[in-house]
Structure 1
Amino acid sequence: MALPASKKDLTYSSFEEFRQKTSFDFSKLDFNRPSICNSLLKLYDQGTLCLSTGEDEKAYMLLYRFFEGYLKLKSSKLYKQDRNYVENFISKEKLSKSMVVLETLNEQIKQRYQEREEEKKQITKIEPPKVQPEIKSPIIKNVINPTQFTDLIRQNVYTILLVDIRDQTDFENSRLNLDYLMTLEAKEKKLISYINIPGDLIDTTSWKIVDALAKKDSNSGQIFSQRKNFDFLIFFDLDSFFNDLKSDSKLMILKRAVYEFDLEKVKNEPVILDGGWSQWLVYYPACKTVSIQNNTCEPNAQEKKIHIEYSEVVEQNEVVQEPAQKPEEPNPKPTIDRTNKPKEKEKEKENAKVEPVLNPIENRQKNNLAENELNFKNSTLQNFLPTKILSRVNKPQLQANNYEPLNETIFNSVYAPRFKFLHTPFMKDGDNKVLNPVTGIFSYENKPGGFNAEAKVKNEKNVAKENKPALKRTFSSPNITDLENSAEDKPSGFKTLAKPLVDRANKPSMQENMMVSRIEDLEPVYAKIRPGLTGIRNLGNTCFMNSIIQCLSNTEPFVKYFLSGQFRKDLNRKNKLGFKGEIADEFAVIMNALWTGRFRVISTHRFKFLIEEFNQLFKSNEQQDAQEFLLFLLDGLHEDLNRVRIRPKISTQDDENCESPDKAWKDHLSMNNSIIVDLFQGQFRSTVTCSTCGKKSVKFDAFMYLTLPIFTSKCNLHECLDLFLRSENMSGESKWKCPNCKQYRDATKKIDIWKLPPLLIIHLKRFKYEGVWRDKITSNVDYPIENLDLNRFLTGPTVSGVSNNYRLYGITNHIGTMDGGHYISMCRHLEMDRWVKYDDSDVKELSSTSALKSPASYILFYSRY
């Protein structure tokens, strides 16, 4: 599509009005009829025709509706039942061309409206003042769900008072992170206020609540007394759903006190957050503050727990003390010397040689990784796959030319029930829950009562009796029992049995058999290709998931950790914050499939199913944010692979200045120690300075990625980093409670990068809110590909032998608007050291690096070198 030189005049009063006219109501259309494809094609053809005649606005509207209509079509039954029919009508080439033209037209039309506004300002003609239309409040009744709640906060239009009635300790440990949820514009306008009114302060009248709250927290009391000035009041507790609320509940008492019995009427009826804090946390786990006290227990909590005694577990390096007097052995030693049997550790050393994953970072991290180090020099990723897996998946089953997509009906009737059986995250840990190592399925042990050592001994005796053979032995072979009984009477030269010729160590292990079976469930299309060039099918707007998986698949130390099987040693299935190891298990299956070099394309049905079950945010077939998925995936893998089995209790110090960066990092590692922490996490230093007395408070926190604000015009990555590290004023409702002044004061907050991780993820903040519109910043950000020098941005001390220079190895691009678009990834292939484009099932090598920098770049992956 070539853009004409001559353009027709703009037809709308503003760019905002043009955007409003662009939207279209598709609810009246039937997307299950085949004729819908012809209708969408007409939109495309008319759009291209308008583009050639210079009608940019009309062309944008038609192409935008064509693209949005196709996204709706992908969620219809017609697409699921006859995907080939739809794709024959609407080709990928037309979709990609329309997305590129939409990006270009959006920028050009927006710039033309801005230029027209500038021309109007230069006209000296006196015009009568225009009456600004009154902003109508959205239709919000007495309840709101977590998604609507978060969208309302991010709109930057309404003043909102958030009232959290949880206990004060719960509120201080973890609450809404408004710094993350609110935009800079919302902070400047002071639109959102957030206070805590503990349940014991709630009374039947609002003036009593204000008095009690003022005695406890004067600032919160003052904010609550001004409740009539807010557009909305939103109340929530820990976990109450609106339909389950009773009239005597704390939420309803507070609502009646404010709305029914209060002399000062509020603007709108107070709203209840459905499901409370717990339900909101399921949707937005990354948008909360984190306290190091949130894993500690109450003083009386241990007394309430049932005490169960277990046998002590002996550590690897621990020496077991033998009893002073050994009990007599019931049976004498056998004649056969079993000490000649090869040791298990020697087999492991011969079969799998693993070397360090990481370059030396710090001595402290070296000690933590001493037993888990891997060295991958002078080796290919395919070498980390067991040879038995490679040989067994080599058999061709499906060819690329005769492959048919999985029918939805077949999937729901055959695969979905099995997936639901495999997925058992809500089984109670205390009910003898066990994992079958062959099938990977959790189940309950068939035990009538509680578990104890005596019952176990009885069960073993019963099993021994049941397994006793009914046939009497013959005298044609030596009696082994007699051999054992007479072992001590035999001379030292007694001839031992010869070592068997068959080496049973070559027998496929259970893990390998299970891995092969799980790979075959990915519906692979067999083809002999270079490892790492396997595509992933789009299962319905899952491009956000596929692009992130491909970038992580080309993260060298991370993928080798899974291919070598090293992750199994760190699996933490009992971690209540994790997913019972199911996410890590399935992720390892996908990594093995991508690097076998035997598949052209695979499907990730089970992985998608698990992600949706664990996080309802990803359950719909609508497009999702790749950055939110990346955060959820890394956090889930961290908890599944956390080496810390028992989290220690760490008490916070009153004076935060006493906390050094080393102590803060040590405390962090004592609760969070995984491959994710080793590779992806660095450390921030946050300094808050009181503007009145100069008191400083310093705090150190871990981070997993950098979210950098970007400019609306062309800029480079260093300028974005400078903007990110700029000081921020804390005033108005964001005042800081100075420990020296003992009251809220204006202050300045400064974030510094204290320590950088080996792998650095940079998220470019392209999406923003402008009133009720969600907009995307499409400016071009220039970033280095080969050498990103971060030395001048690092505040902490440099470590000898550790570089702060980074090399780009992965990019996730978002093409389109915030409401609809497409994700692709471009990665530096680990073995070829060449750039590859991953577009769902389509994988191609890039001939040049010119395509690596574009206005579509969204997430950047860097590695230290």
Structure 2
Amino acid sequence: MTQPKLLHLGRSLDDLEKHYQFPKSVTNKKVMLLCSSANTLKQRADICYLDRDEELAFVYYMKYMNLIKIIKENKEYREKKSLIHSALGTNSELLSIYGKLEKLKGSLERRYAELRKPEKEINGVRNMPGNAPPITSHVKHSIDVKELFDMINSNQLSVLIVDCRPAKDFDNSHIRYQYIVNVPEHLLVAGMTAGKIHDQLEPPSKTMWTSRKVKEHIVLMDYNSQNVPAKDTPLWILQDVLNNWDQDVAYKNALLKVEGGYEAFQLSYPMCCTNPSYSPPVTIMNDYARLEDIEYPNISDIRMKDDSFGSQPSRPVVDRNSKAAALHVYEAKSKPITEILDEQEKLIDKTLQNEIAMLTAENELEQIQDEEEKAMSDAEEKKMLQQQATELAYKLMQLENSKKDYMTENKNLREQIHKYEEIEKGLTERGERISAREAAILADEARIRRMKEKEEEQKRIEIKRDHQAKERESKLKIAKEHKRHLVESKDDTETPRSKIPQFDRTAKPTNAYPDYNHNVQRDFAPVHGVVGFGLTGLKNLGNTCYMNSILQCLSNTFFLRDFFVDGSFKQYLNRNNKTQGKIAEEVAAVIKALWTGQYKCIASKNLRYVVGQYERQFGGIEQQDSHEFLTILMDWLHSDLQTVTMKLETSLENRPASEKAWIEYLKGKESYIARLFYGQIKSTVKCVRCGKESATYESFSNLSLELRPDSNRCDLSECLDMYFNGEHIRGWSCPQCRSNQDAIKKLDISRLPSILVIHFKRFYADPDSMTTVYKKKQNYVKFPLSELDMSTHIAPSELNRNQRLRSHRYHLYGVSNHYGSMESGHYTAFCRNSEFQKWYKFDDHTVSSLDTSDVCSSAAYILFYSLKPTSDM
């Protein structure tokens, strides 16, 4: 039989009493909800009883018995007695629990008595001959305070203690030991590496931190750590950093955690502490089975979205019952039809010109390739020709993308015209009169004839291009065959030697575009000039301002910048995904060039080319949306760097639902990008009729917020309230009512990211336009530069589970303001430079310093917040 687990909750049964008491507010809850909580407690208790964790089993069983008492005293008990008994189980199960409690109580009393034996008696047993200090096994992951005491007093072991309590608590009281280092709690946020911790430690601590590479045992501790620390607590992050993000360090043994932490050590060995009378901070027990998991007991407690911005102006009501009004609307459509036909004709003109440009570019590329073969001896001329060929290849790629866009747009226009033709046909069949103007438009034979002629001309050019491509392929095949015969005839005249195998490369497909090469010499087209680190601008490559605004903000993301600039990302590249690590490599190259301090501005040509390979819309010269680019880029970078396997110390069954959803989303593999940018939203749906709740979890890399519709100015807090407040939904399939019911949906944050990206939904479809036309809201948003408090939007059930959420105040370091139309655009990025601790304005290719007051006076599009201020980075 396995040994009972070590004591970790107290030193007597009286210490356990505070863990199984309920607040008075529990008595007001619905009786069926209490029954559900009681069953959950019983399941937890049974698991702990089987795991031989006697303290937790005793606490859970006692909580269960106390809750049964509360249920019997509830006013609904008599009315629903039979239903409650069936929900709670039989009396035999209750008697079994009584027996287990008696057994646990006796065992714990004996163990606590052993624990309270005089220290001299314990020391006498310890110092008897043959009682050598315990040597921790390589498979052991935790030690108790007695083992720690023996280890630090042993001359045979080399031990380093890493204490991750706050610096103030460590200075007030810590273990008297030569090899101990404090890694303050505020340094341990997601996104840290061991190297970054070293950089931010005080000089005396840096030497001790470096000694971890040679120590035989590394012991981790916080104030009251458990065997398995909770996800995202400082101790968990420290353990994760040393296991997964400590480069070039191979530990001799597994990392050890101290059961009960410094609190237990201080109680057991006060003489080994610098200040034994130190008063510890008050902590809350992390109990996953508590009744506070019920998020919203009363529907009236949920603030609704309708109240977010106050009263909204009512929309005008249009009476469409009148047939005359309907005919008037139909007559007014003649102008939109004319515009669609004009637009289609212009589009066919563009397609024809694009086809001619492609034919010309292919002929030029063929001519350059012929000249390149003739210039084999002149290296300088050959290099120039290769550069021209590369530029033509880029141009061909853009023209090809434009052709696909034109085809898609033309298809949409045809569908719109077809809808109007169907309307006309339906009216004609019913014998109703249509306008003479619209009939003339639909029967415009001259326009149709012109468009058909242009389409035929386009097809002729396509046929010509295909014919030339086949001719080039045939010539290449003949040339290679001729070259092979020359080599064979030359070999026949020379001295016989081992025959080199011949390969038929004629089957290799030709490609007009250059293949991506990881060792390619990137062309940043730089404008040289000595500037400060990170103060390099980005050139606009034909409406790439949407991309430049995002790159400047990412470049000034402190942790991400260092990760790419120092080359740490290379050991985490994933070559087995769709993008094969290429996106991460190109982003790293751009950010590194921006931080050399040698260029006034550069161009991100290679990044744009690679991005266009995997997302066609970003490969052309058309304007795109920076938020859409950011979202796709984050997913690419996460996939490119997703190589660190998540280590699960406990099974998924015992984890909260939020952690299960997080692990399933990451597919068991974590990335540096996920640690920095990704968070998690909890969506709770509550039935209005019976109060049944259902929760789902979804990961996010940015939050998209609505803007106030009835004002030119609004506050970020109002936008956040609008996003997180409740909303009514109809027809929700309630599992308890077993029918469709009205419900309320509420969003909360279950996991905050280290970098919080907030996007404002400025673009909207114009409701007054007959076609799909997007307009942009020009609202000015007031947002804080520091101390953005997100605690009010955290799910109640997650506040105690994730102790990391105590650091819920964010500090602004980047603002992206991308504006313009779909044909042309402009961007301004405001970034706080971590090197100079000042705000700078990044324009199309210029950089200038900025006053703090000017940062907030812009129609911001995307905000970048960090959990730590840039001055601390």
Q: TM above 0.5, one fold?
A: no
Greater helix share, structure number = 2
Category of TM-score, reference length = shorter chain: 0.3 to 0.5
TM-score in terms of structure 2 length: 0.40
Tell which structure's C-alpha radius of gyration is larger. 2
